[in-house]
Structure 1
Amino acid sequence: MIEQKGLTVWFTGLSGAGKTTISRVVENELRSQGYKVEVLDGDVLRQCLTKGLGYSREDRDENVRRIGYVANLLTRNDVIVLVSVISPYRQIRNQMRLDTADFLEVYVNAPLEVCEQRDVKGLYKKARLGEIQNFTGIDDPYEAPLFPEVTCNTHLETIAESAGKVLRKMEELGYYLPLIDSHSLRFKIHNLKAILN
Structure 2
Amino acid sequence: MVTLSPRLLPRSRLPRNVNPSACLLAQATAEVNRVSSKVEPILMDGTVPIFRLPLFDIVVCNPPYVPVMPEEKFELSGGLVESYLEKSWDGGPDGNSFIIPFLKTVPKLLTKTGALYLLLSSWNEPENLMGTVALEEGLVGTMVIKRQAGRERLSVWRLVRANCSCKSAPPEVVESKLNFSL
Flag whether TM exceeds 0.5 (same fold): no
Structure of higher CA gyration radius: 2
Report which of the two has the higher share of helix.
1
TM-score, normalized by length of structure 2? 0.36
State the TM-score, normalizing by the size of structure 1. 0.34
